A and B are shown apart, each in its own frame.
Chain A
């Protein structure tokens, strides 16, 4: 008994210490980025000033004055929100159909959807650029919204499918018997019952959209450019201005970190979907 008690005591101390250590290691680059954003470009490259520096808002002022941060930010918000809504608009009926009226091909369709994620994006880069330019869609909100939606649809459908599968089929059938049409089933029964799952899926989709860089950088110039493009644009040919770059990066990830902080519970639920019942 004594040994068991000792072991629990030890693990009570050991695990939190380990967890904190890992968390700090992961968090360090973010803290470093935030600190650097308050340094001048000159101070930023001096190792002796890692923690001891005179904070300045110069980089942030510069960012809003010279780079039009708010335009990039509003583009990020517009494309991420619209892409998330459009993705859900397509994914909810799709996952509903597969969860409640599965056919012989349902499993294959799900696998096929996921397989599209295995295609290397670079493989279709040039066709995409030429096609979108030819169609006059290059550097438009519409294009970015569509691209973000299509990238995220497979994973969103998978997640929603998993949540919907947990809803007893009887309840959907009871709704049918109660005189409800298909749209009513979705609105009155499915969405309220799967609300937690839909919310965490939406949140995750929004974060993926916000953080997407490969396509948003390559398919935009100015009009539809998002914060990812702003960060990318700070790679000046004469070298990296770490202070400026850090300020831009901090301002780009800031909103999503705050959002993530408030929605931790839903995020964990979303990321471990299917694992915890």
Chain B
């Protein structure tokens, strides 16, 4: 079981309030992702749950038990760090078995569990190597191995993939998702990468300046962002925002429309000139200027569309996909 509840949790460093009081519940077995720009307090929030930082006020509960004053070693959580944080003086076998040895488990049992974790993570051939002799991806697997042998109440991941190259990152993303499906244990995952958040999470927590902007499933956040910040943060390429008179005509103080919800047509609501076109093969992203709007409009077209720099095109936003926001940036 691993139901984690934050009640009125606040964190200040000296004068600076990093996290104003907030409430959050992560249900047992959920894959929750904390996402936000750097410095938004997502890592601090994770470290508060881990116990590596002390809360200034409020309470943290795991399965109903108040762990606010419990040291990290006794919270029953396992953490995977961005830097892997392996013990460089120990072999892979010793690294993975370390938490079990600290729990004074029998050596035979430790060996069995380490072998099992190693086979799940494809590390069997590397058990007698030291971390320095492994690649980044292998090190990350060892760090995950060290976390899973403990059978924790919940896993905490602090930007675990940001030190890996792009190809490996996609692979590890899948592996972690599969691990979650297999273990069905609560996972909390911190990232600044909204693609990771969208692909892995059951529940996304979007943070900005320590404040929770919205909590919801990936598609909830995509379809009904609560405010302009969430709308702009979730989705790639970013949502187009239109302000001023053009927005008023469409019924909001500002109006957002995602690049994939604009059709290239003859005529249309806006006409403009194609600037940069990014051809990805499966998709093409156009950046359209001179539409009479203040902003450049990004449009996503399926497949390889043969439009060139300087071509004039017509754009038609799908009216039922418009996101309207008031003067405070809240969804109307």
Contacts and interface: CB of A to CB of B under 8 A. Distances in A.
B87 A177 contact: no
B166 to A, nearest CB: 23
Contact of A180 (B50, B77, B83, B102): B102
Interface string B41-83: 0000000001110000000000000000001111001110111
Interface string A172-188: 01111111110010001
B103 interface: yes
B103 A174 contact: no
Given A179-B103, A179-B150, A189-B87, A174 B81 contact: yes
B50 A177 contact: yes
Interface in B86-106: 86-89, 98-99, 102-103
A249 B76 CA distance: 61
B102 A174 contact: no
A176 B74 CA distance: 9
B72 A170 contact: no
Given A178-B99, A178-B146, A168 B89 contact: no
A105 interface: no
Contacts of A168: 83, 85
B94 to A, nearest CB: 10
A173 B73 contact: no
A127 B71 CA distance: 46
Interface in A127-185: 168, 170-171, 173-181, 184
Contacts of A173: 52, 72, 79, 81, 85
Instruction: Report the contact-size class of chain B (Cβ under 8 Å from the partner).
Output: 20 to 34
Contacts of B78: 177-178
Contacts of B156: 177
A251 interface: no
Instruction: Report the contact-size class of chain A (Cβ under 8 Å from the partner).
Output: 10 to 19
Contacts of A171: 85-88
Nearest to A181: B73
A176 B70 CA distance: 12
A192 interface: yes
A30 interface: no
Given A168-B83, A170-B83, A184-B102, A176 B89 contact: no
Given A170-B81, A170-B83, A184-B102, A176 B88 contact: no
Contacts of A179: 73-74, 99, 102-103, 150
Contacts of A178: 73, 78, 98-99, 102, 146, 150
A177 B79 contact: yes
Contact of B89 (A175, A181, A192): A192
Interface string B137-179: 0000000001000100000100000000000000000000000
A176 B83 contact: no
A13 to B, nearest CB: 39
A26 to B, nearest CB: 38
A85 interface: no
B56 to A, nearest CB: 16
Nearest to B78: A177
A8 B156 CA distance: 57
A116 B284 CA distance: 70
A193 B89 contact: yes
Nearest to B101: A188
B102 A176 contact: no
A100 to B, nearest CB: 11
B74 to A, nearest CB: 8
Contacts of B74: 179
Contacts of B72: 173, 176-177
A49 to B, nearest CB: 56
A188 B97 CA distance: 13
Interface of B: 50-52, 71-74, 77-79, 81-83, 85-89, 98-99, 102-103, 146, 150, 156
21 contacts: A170-B82, A170-B83, A171-B86, A171-B88, A173-B72, A174-B81, A177-B73, A177-B77, A177-B78, A177-B79, A177-B156, A178-B73, A178-B102, A178-B146, A179-B73, A179-B99, A179-B102, A179-B150, A181-B71, A189-B87, A192-B87
